[in-house]
Structure 1
Amino acid sequence: METIHIFHTNDFHSHLEHWPRIHNFLMRKKEYYHSREEEFFLFDIGDFIDRWHPYTEATKGRGNIELLNSCGYTAVTIGNNEGVNLPHEDLDHLYDDADFDVLNANLYKANGGYPDWVKPYKIYDTKTGTRIGVIGLTACFSHLYDLLGWEITDPISELKRWLNPLREEADIIVLLSHLGLQDDENIAANFPEIDVILGAHTHHFLEQGEVVGQTLIGAAGKFGHYVGHMTLTVNVDKDVENKKAILYDFEEIPEPKNEQEQIAEFFEKGKGLLNQHITILKEPLLHDSFHETNLSQLLCKALREWCQTDCAMINAGLLLGSLSGEVTTYDLLKICPHPINPCVIELTGEELEKIFTETKGAELARREIKGLGFRGTVLGIFVYEGIHFADGQIFINDTSLEQDKTYTLALPDMFTFGHFFKEVLPHKHKNYLLPEFLRDLLKWELEKRE
């Protein structure tokens, strides 16, 4: 009988305050199982990077890759934070110094073919000759990948394509899935030859895994709150006789020496690298989630000018602090950490009126938001540019709104993902402007003042 240990992390999102402890834990586990001559594999299932953290932002994620190297990861797949939140050139060089494999079967170059740093799958041999076939898949945000110069294909089609060679070459099949729990359950139900699915994307955690058919699904939540561990027992015929999953809670993992110093070092190193002068303000730019300020006005103005639209709107909760004196690149990251892009939509006057009416809802400003790229807490009030309200009327650039006229509206992309303005926006064409984030537009606007 052979025992194989598979450790896995997912959706870490650059929460490097958890890394020293998890790094120490994984290194100890690796040493322990090696001493027992048991097999040890370590995988990350995507979204390990997130550009809210100054170290990740300053290194465009390559600093995170050094961390994975230091722990001896076997392989990773990419998540949407790697895939669509980095400019093409930065993703293309993200893994230049990786000491592990990047496995992803549904990411291609725009002209076809896999990037040099990607393999669809790989076979790993254990000491006794057990062949473990590992394949990776990521969420299919085809339009966004296309805008960045990549092609992302349907993950299920790619899985069907590559399962045939995997069946022939491997005794055990493992899927690294940055697709979400629902897709993982469907895959397990329809592809029983997959022994293990390591999941991600929807931030779910499965304390003892989930068995669907013959497949064991594992997932370790988000932000490093858990580390996953699967144990497979394989007989001499290379059949899996037993498999089980557990999670280790971060809070129950022993603290390493100098944990706080290591955490501070990540932050300060990133902050130092982002100490790039942008401007010196003659007067402060103030933040208030529940009142319009000169800072929220400035961001909304920048959004409209960048997008060259008739009007624009933002939510004040996007800004998490004020600016004064010298402004650096780090300052803009601190007050606008979201990986949110500008978006342009064409709307009739009637549709605009429905949206503006909804933005005035009394409860909306205090709504707490998680996900959608938003890294703040509350939505905040809406701030407008090229739009004003007077005597019960809506004016676009000082002209009364016409119900049948077509207007262009610039807004943060988070409002276009189906959770807001559901009566109007879901079926509209969205023109996403990538790779710039909102803080890049703010920087552009401030630099014009120099």
Structure 2
Amino acid sequence: MKERITLYHTNDLHSHFENWPRIHQFLIQQRRMLEQEGEEVFLFDIGDHADRSHPLTEGSSGKRNVDMLNHAGYDAVTIGNNEGITFSYDELNELYDHAEFEVILANLFTSEGKRPDWARPYLIKTTKSGIKIGITAVTAEYPVFYEKLGWHITSAKDELKAQVRAMKDKVDVIILLSHLGIREDEWVAEECPDIDVIMGGHTHHVLENGRLHHQVLLAAAGKFGMYTGKVEIDFDHVSRKVSGATATLYETGGLPKADDQEAEWLAEGKELLSNEITVLDQPIQHNPLQEESPLTNLLAEAILEWCDADLSIVTGGLLLHSLEAGPVTEYDLHHILPHPINPCLVELTGSELKEVIRQSRHQAWPTTVIRGLGFRGTILGEFVYKGLEEKEHQFYVGNELVRSDQVYRIATVDMFTFGFFFPEMQRAKKYYFMPEFLRDILKEKLRGDAR
């Protein structure tokens, strides 16, 4: 006798709520239909559902994302890096207080080495016919960031192997929710043959019909809710093994229309962020391609003061709009700085600083379109320095000539330290300020100037 088990999965929505009504409606209808036909159906999210670039996620500290998962009837979720390292310790610790689903996460612990109360390393679900399905989950490791926030992240691979060992004699089917990325998922498929299905995310890969890798089915649904994934598992009751598994993706744009709630969610987020920060007598204009853009210079000054540095480096593209005259609310600051990007203090020698300046002057960079790295804008924009002067092709910091062997403290943004832009910053000694984002730094600057 064979039985079919159906799994629906989403990943990396990143609070793209414009796609959520169709996904929600589709999942509710499909589950109801299949359950009426006697099939077992489970629903999973593989992390990064919440992204603080959306005002509703920001204003509710992600709890409205949890409400949406509740209403859609999810059985279990794991977290991505956006849940894990863009919320403060307390915000993440309270995020799932009202969750009506299980949170599965094997490789996150408190700084004291305890698993958080809201997470479990694995879950066993039993079908009506007695099939035992073991589900475990791991998320991408960002140890420096997790440690700064008060968490301890461990090796995903080691934890995964431990959970598979703990489950394999208790279950008939093993499923992994992996927010590790496609290359890591391939490694898992090679090293953990007891796993039957890996539903993945993090690298936003699209596997239209899944992919069989070392006899393990890999499935993934891209990003931003552009797809919803379905995995069908055929289980043989005689051999007590999975006899086959297939994967399918449904493009959201092709799903039946649903009530558009994006305007309502945006209005709700704006209301949650309506707290007034200050009142401007005149606008602070902004042009991302100008070195003398007033708002970019204000941000450069704010981050310089916050980090207590010798100089600061920012770009105009970090700011998306000007600030108009009149009241400035938390929503206004979120609107111009939606990125989950933290300030960072980097120590560079004078010779390394000069090399960074040289690289930053590449003529193509200001108009380069940037994706990832926490950036939620469009173009990189012009580089702006505060505390640095150039006179007759010589650089000065604090009115003193930059010396090649002297170490300078540079205030900048974390995205410049990940290696894509400046290898010198990736190798350098650095200190990340967390959980503050750039909008928090600018908020304090505006409040201080108002006083």
**Structure 1 stretch 298-307 or stretch 355-364: which is displaced more?**
355-364
**Aligned position for 2:321:** 321
**Aligned position for 1:55:** 56
**Aligned position for 2:218:** 217
CA separation in 1, counterparts of 2:214 and 2:348? Answer: 47
**Aligned position for 2:284:** 285
What secondary structure does 1:209 align onto?
Answer: strand
**Deviation >4 Å, runs of 4+:** none
CA separation in 2, counterparts of 1:312 and 1:289? Answer: 17
Q: Deviations over 1:320-360 (max 9, x none)?
A: 00001211000000010000000111111111010011111
What secondary structure does 2:38 align onto?
Answer: coil
What secondary structure does 1:48 align onto?
Answer: coil
Within-5 A mapping of 1:47-446: 47-237=48-238, 238-256=240-258, 258-259=259-260, 262-291=261-290, 292-324=292-324, 325-422=326-423, 424-446=424-446
State the one-letter code of the partner of 1:300.
Answer: A
**Aligned position for 2:447:** 447
Q: Conserved in 2, the CA contact under 8 Å of 1:343 and 1:413?
A: yes
Identity of aligned residues (%): 46
CA separation in 2, counterparts of 1:93 and 1:429? Answer: 33
> TM-score of the superposition, structure 2-length normalised?
0.98
State the one-letter code of the partner of 2:73.
Answer: G
Q: CA deviation at 1:421?
A: 1.3
CA separation in 2, counterparts of 1:416 and 1:206? Answer: 31
Q: CA deviation at 1:224?
A: 0.2
CA separation in 2, counterparts of 1:431 and 1:142? Answer: 13
CA separation in 2, counterparts of 1:361 and 1:395? Answer: 21
Q: Conserved in 2, the CA contact under 8 Å of 1:196 and 1:217?
A: yes
Q: Conserved in 2, the CA contact under 8 Å of 1:279 and 1:449?
A: no
Root mean square deviation of aligned Cα? 0.8
State the one-letter code of the partner of 2:256.
Answer: P
Q: CA deviation at 1:201?
A: 0.2
CA separation in 2, counterparts of 1:212 and 1:385? Answer: 51
Q: CA deviation at 1:22?
A: 0.6
CA separation in 2, counterparts of 1:157 and 1:164? Answer: 11
CA separation in 1, counterparts of 2:62 and 2:220? Answer: 23
Within-5 A mapping of 1:17-36: 17-36=18-37
Q: Conserved in 2, the CA contact under 8 Å of 1:416 and 1:425?
A: yes
CA separation in 2, counterparts of 1:354 and 1:232? Answer: 55
Unaligned runs of 5+ in 2: none
What secondary structure does 1:55 align onto?
Answer: helix
CA separation in 1, counterparts of 2:289 and 2:75? Answer: 47
Q: Deviations over 1:17-57 (max 9, x none)?
A: 11111100100001011110101000000000000111000
Q: Conserved in 2, the CA contact under 8 Å of 1:274 and 1:330?
A: yes
What secondary structure does 1:372 align onto?
Answer: coil
CA separation in 2, counterparts of 1:299 and 1:427? Answer: 25
CA separation in 1, counterparts of 2:200 and 2:15? Answer: 18
CA separation in 1, counterparts of 2:80 and 2:211? Answer: 22
Q: Conserved in 2, the CA contact under 8 Å of 1:51 and 1:57?
A: yes
CA separation in 1, counterparts of 2:391 and 2:257? Answer: 59
CA separation in 1, counterparts of 2:159 and 2:284? Answer: 50
Q: Deviations over 1:256-288 (max 9, x none)?
A: 1x32xx111111001011111011111211111
Q: CA deviation at 1:425?
A: 2.1
> TM-score of the superposition, structure 1-length normalised?
0.98
What secondary structure does 1:42 align onto?
Answer: strand
CA separation in 1, counterparts of 2:345 and 2:171? Answer: 47
Q: CA deviation at 1:449?
A: 2.3
Q: Conserved in 2, the CA contact under 8 Å of 1:342 and 1:432?
A: yes
Unaligned runs of 5+ in 1: none
CA separation in 2, counterparts of 1:146 and 1:432? Answer: 11
What secondary structure does 2:5 align onto?
Answer: strand
CA separation in 1, counterparts of 2:135 and 2:440? Answer: 38
State the one-letter code of the partner of 2:288.
Answer: S
State the one-letter code of the partner of 1:141.
Answer: Y
CA separation in 2, counterparts of 1:42 and 1:353? Answer: 52
Q: Conserved in 2, the CA contact under 8 Å of 1:333 and 1:439?
A: yes
CA separation in 2, counterparts of 1:410 and 1:13? Answer: 28
CA separation in 1, counterparts of 2:179 and 2:89? Answer: 20
CA separation in 2, counterparts of 1:165 and 1:356? Answer: 53
Q: CA deviation at 1:426?
A: 2.4
CA separation in 2, counterparts of 1:286 and 1:360? Answer: 23
Q: Deviations over 1:164-209 (max 9, x none)?
A: 1111111000000000000000110111110000000000010000
What secondary structure does 1:208 align onto?
Answer: strand
State the one-letter code of the partner of 2:155.
Answer: D
Q: CA deviation at 1:220?
A: 0.2
State the one-letter code of the partner of 1:253.
Answer: L
CA separation in 2, counterparts of 1:358 and 1:398? Answer: 23
CA separation in 2, counterparts of 1:24 and 1:106? Answer: 33
